Structure 1
C-alpha cells in the first residue's frame, strides 16, 4: 500500500517506520528539519518529500500534525478528493493542555468540513506513541490491544483497520465521525494514565463485552 505521512513527529515517524517495516511504500513529509525527513526515510527504506509528493496517488494518508498546523498542511495538500485520510491529530491548544474544540463538534468533524471530498477516519489519537513499538514486537502473540476507529466511509475504515492490524492493534469500531466529539476528550484521560500515573507511557487498552 502506498502511504503518505504528513507530519514527522512522534506519531508520524513511529507509525511510518513500522508500516515501512511491513513492506508498505511510505513517504514522509512535513518537517521543519529536512535532515530529519532524510534520516527517517534512510532508516526506514522509505521516501521523503513535499506534502504534494507524499499525498499524490496515496492509498492512505496519515495526518499527524499539531492542530495549529492543520490549515498550512491542507493548503499544501489540495482538495484530497477521494483519498483515505487517517487522522490522529487532536484539537489542542499550543501548550497541549486543553481541547479547543469539543462536545458540539470535534476536530475530526472540522477537518471533514475543511476537505469534504476526502474520506476521513479518526484513529490512533487516544493511543500513546510509546506503545507502538512494543505492540508491534508482540504482534500475533496474544489478544491485541485496541484502537478506536470512527468515520462515515466504510471502505476508508476497512483500509484503516488493515493498517491498524499491521501495527499489531485491533480496530475497535466506534461508529460515525460524529462520535469523535466524545472520543477525542478521552485522549486527555490516556495522557493522565500514560504520562502522570506510574507505570510508564506505553499504555494500551482493550474493551470486552461480558457474556452471560
Structure 2
C-alpha cells in the first residue's frame, strides 16, 4: 500500500515508521525541519521517502492526516486537491495548549474535516490510543489477543482503509459506525490521554473492547 503522511509529529511520525517497517511505501511530509523528515525516512527503511504534502497526496492510495488542529487548514492548503482520495484522520480537535476539545457535543473534528474535503473519503482512527504504545502493539502484532482501536466512517472504502491501517500496526479494529460517532471517540481520546499522562503510571496504555463471552473465553 502507498501511504502518504501529512504531519510528522508523535502520531504521524511513529505510525509512518511502523507502516514502512511493515513493508508499505510511505512518504512523510509536513514538518518544520527537513532533518526530522530525513530521520523518519532513515528509521522507516527502504520503503520510506519524504516529499511535499502535495507529492504525498498525489502518490498515495491512503493518506494519514496527523497534524495538530491548529495546523489543519495550512496542511490542507499545501496538500492541494484531495478529491477521490481516501483520508484517515487521527487529528483530535484540541486547543493550542492541548488541554481541551474545541469541537464537541454536537459536532466533531472528523466531521469538520469531511466537510472541508467534500470530494474525499474520510475515516477517523488511532486518536484513542497514546502514540507511546504503538511500537509495543506493533511488536506484539502476531499474538492472538490484540489491543483494540476504534474507527468510524460514513464511507465503506475509507472504513476498510482505516481498519487495514490499524491491522498493520497490530490493533484489532473496532468499527464504531458512522463518522458522527467521532463526537464520542474524540472525548474518549482525552480520557486515554489522562490515563497515559496524568496518572504517573506511564504512557503505554491500550484498551480492549469485546463481547464479554469473547473476553473471558
Q: TM-score range by the shorter chain?
A: over 0.9
Q: Distance in 1 between matches of 2:29 and 2:79?
A: 11
What is the alpha-carbon root mean square deviation over aligned residues? 1.2
Deviations 1:105-128 (A, max 9, x none): 000000111111111110001110
Q: Distance in 1 between matches of 2:143 and 2:211?
A: 21
Shift of 1:41: 1.0
Q: Please list every run of 5 or more consecutive structure 1 residues that lacks an aligned counterpart in the other structure.
A: none
Deviations 1:7-60 (A, max 9, x none): 111111100000001110000000001111112112212100100111113111
* DSSP-derived class of the 1:56 partner: helix
| TM-score, with length taken from structure 1 | 0.97
Shift of 1:159: 1.5
Show the 5 A alignment for 1:45-124.
45=45, 46-124=48-126
Identify the match of residue 175 of structure 2 among 166, 169, 173.
173
Shift of 1:3: 0.4
Q: Which residue of the partner structure matches residue 7 of structure 1?
A: 7
Runs of 4+ in 1 over 6 A off after TM superposition: none
Q: Please list every run of 5 or more consecutive structure 2 residues that lacks an aligned counterpart in the other structure.
A: none
Give yes or no for contact 1:79–1:118 (8 Å, CA) kept in 2: no
* DSSP-derived class of the 1:135 partner: helix
Shift of 1:142: 3.3
Q: Which residue of the partner structure matches residue 153 of structure 1?
A: 155
Deviations 1:172-198 (A, max 9, x none): 000000110111011111111111113
Shift of 1:160: 1.5
* DSSP-derived class of the 2:212 partner: coil
Q: Which residue of the partner structure matches residue 22 of structure 1?
A: 22
Give yes or no for contact 1:64–1:87 (8 Å, CA) kept in 2: yes
